[in-house]
Chains A and B, each alone.
Chain A
Amino acid sequence: MFYRPESIDEALALKSRLGAHGTFLAGGTDLVVGIRKEKTRVEHFIDLTRIAGLDGVYRDRDRLRIGALCTHAALEREAITALADACETVGGPQIRNLGTIGGQLGTASPAGDVSVALIALDADCEIASVRGTRTIALADLFVGPGRTVLSPDEMLLSVSIAADRKSAFYKIGKRDAVAISLVMAAASVAPDGAVSIGLGCVAPVPLRARLAEAHVREHGLSDDAIERAAELAMSEASPISDHRGSAEYRRAMCATLVRRLLRGLR
């Protein structure tokens, strides 16, 4: 069946009833590819694109709340550098016009560029079901490649990120567009000096480099502290080798990118 709910409540009711037999459809840029490759089987579609108000971006003091249906294209010109730059590197214009934040997080890919940027912006996500809503740190959403902590009746409503930070994002891909990242990183510095660092393609999930964060939180952004943080970030990564690149290179790039991003944020 193909369901097309027009409100969040209707969507949640459907999801509650269908559970694992129902699959949310947003931009379809991951889902349809999975279906065509016969990697994903869908019994019932729950198309979210008719739900009004889920694609908004709201400023809430020093936080920015982004609706699950917000597209990458809509965020490309946001003033938050890491977010805008990450969104701008996703696929090509057609993909960015369709692909959504909710879909990006729902896919839970360690190569999700925007996921990594959001993690580095200290993101929380709002999760809803007929049972109510809950908010968790984004870094805790991901369990493994393609796996999240969402229960079969739950849906992502929005993510909320720090809007008052200097931030940066850097992606190494095999070409300039429509390229799955080989490795990428994002970082932000809060007015109070807190630092968040996200790493992509170096672990089964988009990774938050907590040891590196803690080090610079304590020692500031001196050359020495950054150097140590870069090493720590490298130690937190557990990349694999595949046809795109070796674990050795990915690990080394964790340090290189963390060093580069943090220096740029001083």
Chain B
Amino acid sequence: MSGAQQHNIGRSVVRPDVRDKVTGATRFGGDLCGPEVLSASVVRAAHAHAKVIRVDFSKAKAIDGVIAVLGRDDIKGTNRHGLIKRDHPVFCDERVRYRGDAIAVVIATTPEAAKLGRDAVEVEYEALPVIATMADAQADGAERIHEFGNVLATQLIRKGDAAKALGESDVVVTRTFAMGGVDHAFLDLEAGYAEMDGDVVTIHASGQWVHEERRLIALALGLPVERVRIVQPPTGGAFGGREDISIQIYLGLAALTLGKPVRMQYTREESMVARHKRHPMEIEYTLGATRDGTLTAAKVIIRSDEGAYASTGPAVLRKAVSHCTGPYRVPHVEADGVALFTNNCPTGAMRGFGACQLAIAYEGAVLAVARELGMDVVELKKKNLVRDGDSITTGQVIPVASAIDCLDAALDRFHWNARRKDHPAPHLRRGYGVSTICFGLGYGDGYPDASRARVRFAEDNVLEVYSGGVDVGQGLHSLLAQIAGEEFGIDASRVRVIASDTALTPESGSSSATRQTLFSGNAVKLAAGEVHRQVMDAAAVMLGLHWEDLAIKGDRIVGIHHENVATPLAFVLSGARARGFTLDSTAVYKPRTVAPTDQSGRSPRAFLTYMFGSHAAEVIVDIETGEVRVERIVAAHDVGKAINPREVEGQIEGGVAQGLGMALMEEVVTRQGRILNASFTDYIIPTILDVPRIEAVIVERADLEGPHGARGVGEPPLIGAVPAILAAISDAIGHPVEQTPATAERVWKIIHQDNAEHLT
């Protein structure tokens, strides 16, 4: 390294993967191939709910090019997957529970033959009543989707006496919120490649947690984990949509059974029909306050549509309940959530993970209280937002509660007090909204959440990081290189990262829950710190000084008090190796969180740390058509420390765009268990023309746990965007907007219905 010491932390280093992605050179899962590779295609259920009476593969097997048709009789293990309950059949037994359920997989010499084979598999069904809605699931005598009934889970919070406190409040508002299902809509479709390497089946496919996937796949296939290897190819987005198993077990089973390489790729339609979605929720929110605007109590009832299988549903419900009052101090809280099975597409993890739906509800309720009190919502927020040392609804004390810092930062950048109030045209109304949200990072609630990392100097003296953590597009690997390099003053671009391969890397937990910066970042920092000590130990031996009197400067080791002592780092590394010193360390970062009690749902440490954010939005609403145009969004997030500021901005911009989609246009429309818009023609996500100027404001109040004070940033930017946009629409039209997406038609109906009320 030449010139002044370059620091990695806080520097917008360019990720090594971006050039290939922009130029199209990256080989994603769908680009993987090999000689004489076979193709696979999945037979899906023709009903949302039915008994399977008879399955006949004979016609399919007779098709030219079809090599095999594999079903439940061909799978040796549990034939199940699922992150929490293991209730999702790889191949259905006697029942199908949603239209994405799989009956069999057809393996053929070409994709075309596989498809013909798929269509030739005969399945005889006996239709069962379709549980299409949460009301259907709860109806008396409703058909049971699973043996134990239609309730997957319940969750609660009991804090103080909410009923009494609401009775004594000066104002009480009750509002009902509804959020539609949302698709992850990542561009890189489920696609992959599997082959045998001796008796090990190697699966190249994108997930979010290679080690857990290996475990689930091995269980389903009836193999010891050593016989399964997962290698993650470059991944084009995940957003929670790759947490559940998709193609991996089909690929593994086919390669294992036939001993030949196999590849497969879903179509967009298949991806949308099969993959889990964001939970549709219905939330009834009652919020009380005193006349001076102090929040007194909240009563929250949450119903969550689980679809056909559990996926991460219980955890999503818990996150919803634990975030039910967001960043506000509410002394009395009573919250009840129930997750219900239906014959819809399963619902599971998606960016925001339950906290997203609740942010829409608590922000909507706070807005309603402000309106009821005739009080400015910013003033109301500031009166009730948690401050350093306050506790939130779970009972956890928040040492760095930066909600107000974020709110001020967002309003300041927005020039909130100078906002224009004019109408651009007689039929157009301008509106402004602001949100403040919080988000607990990591799995929390006592789950043994951990990341491991290995750092070493390789034989060629290159600093190496080994991490099981997957980079789904968020830039994890580059971030880990920055953190490892920082310990030695080595530029991130010179650090080699070996990642997301179960054969080579330690288990680092999932890329989800906004946890990798915090967890893997810390694990890498610990391991790199130990290797640093190993290097200094060796250098001290070689230079005859105490290690505390040595430091790394540029690519040299120098004496702090002895200016004449200076030796190249590479020389020390080689010397250390020659002397048999270890330059290699694996570290575990495994902090403790505490499970909530059954009676209260509260916990002194539900999450390791919390992140706060605030968005300000400006919209223009066409009051005659209901069309909404977002003009501007400012998003301020306290990331603790931006290890790579440009990447943080990228996450904020992407989160806002995705939140805009959820707020205005994205909705999985389902009738009788069938998705009516399972394609990119009909499932509408924003394009660049719909996304306004996004101004990311990075707030940096150091975290007490995170590496270099960093927290993370993945999920909160989406969570904050939705309520800010809804509040802005509400400001423009003068009526609450409490359903997502707020399509033109819905906004028009809100305006129109209310006008009708005025007329009568």
- What is A's interface to B at a CB cutoff of 8 Å? 92, 172, 174-180, 182, 242-246, 249, 252-253, 256-257, 260
Contact = CB atoms under 8 A, between A and B. Distances in A.
A244 B681 CA distance: 11
A260 B624 contact: yes
Contacts of A249: 744-745, 748-749
A257 B622 CA distance: 12
A203 B684 CA distance: 23
A174 B687 contact: no
Nearest to B677: A243
Contact of B687 (A176, A244, A252): A176
Contacts of B665: 174-175
Contacts of A180: 681-682
Contact of A245 (B686, B745, B752): B745
Contacts of B493: none
B627 A172 contact: yes
Contact of B625 (A178, A242, A253): A253
A193 B328 CA distance: 62
A174 B684 contact: yes
Identify the interface centre among B681, B682, B743, B744: most chain A CB within 10 Å of its CB: B744
Contacts of B624: 256, 260
B690 A175 contact: yes
B55 interface: no
B689 interface: yes
B669 interface: yes
Contacts of A179: 684
Contacts of A175: 665, 684-687, 689-690
B458 interface: no
A176 B689 contact: yes
16 contacts: A92-B687, A172-B625, A172-B627, A174-B684, A174-B744, A175-B684, A175-B685, A176-B689, A176-B690, A179-B684, A180-B681, A243-B676, A252-B748, A256-B624, A260-B427, A260-B624
Contact of A174 (B427, B625, B689, B743): B743
Contacts of A242: 676
Main secondary structure of the interface of B (DSSP, over half): loop
B689 A177 contact: yes
A182 B626 CA distance: 12
Nearest to B743: A174
Nearest to B665: A174
A175 B628 CA distance: 10
Contact of A178 (B676, B687, B744, B752): B687
Nearest to B741: A174
Contacts of B689: 175-177
Given A174-B744, A245-B743, A249-B745, 15 more contacts: A175-B684, A175-B687, A176-B687, A176-B689, A176-B690, A177-B689, A177-B690, A179-B684, A182-B744, A182-B745, A243-B669, A243-B677, A243-B682, A244-B682, A260-B427
A180 B625 CA distance: 16
Contacts of B681: 180
Nearest to B687: A177
B293 to A, nearest CB: 38
Nearest to B680: A178
Interface in B639-665: 665
Interface in B657-700: 665, 669, 676-677, 681-682, 684-687, 689-690
Interface string B407-447: 00000000000000000000100000000000000000000
Identify the interface centre among A178, A180, A242, A249: most chain B CB within 10 Å of its CB: A249
A226 to B, nearest CB: 14
Contacts of A172: 625, 627, 744
A244 B749 CA distance: 15
A246 B687 CA distance: 24
A218 B359 CA distance: 55
- For the complex of A and B, 3 pairs with smallest distance between CB atoms: A176-B689, A243-B676, A243-B669
A17 B146 CA distance: 60
A175 B447 CA distance: 41
Interface in B364-379: none
B745 A246 contact: yes
Nearest to A183: B625
Nearest to A245: B745
Interface in B725-744: 743-744
B550 to A, nearest CB: 60
Nearest to A176: B689
A256 B625 contact: yes
A40 B682 CA distance: 19
A246 B665 CA distance: 15
A253 B627 CA distance: 11
Identify the interface centre among A175, A182, A246: most chain B CB within 10 Å of its CB: A175
B729 to A, nearest CB: 16
Interface string B158-202: 000000000000000000000000000000000000000000000
A176 B744 CA distance: 12
A246 B685 CA distance: 20
Contacts of A244: 682
Interface in B704-746: 743-745
Contacts of A182: 744-745
Nearest to B627: A172
A172 B627 CA distance: 8
Contacts of A174: 665, 684, 743-744
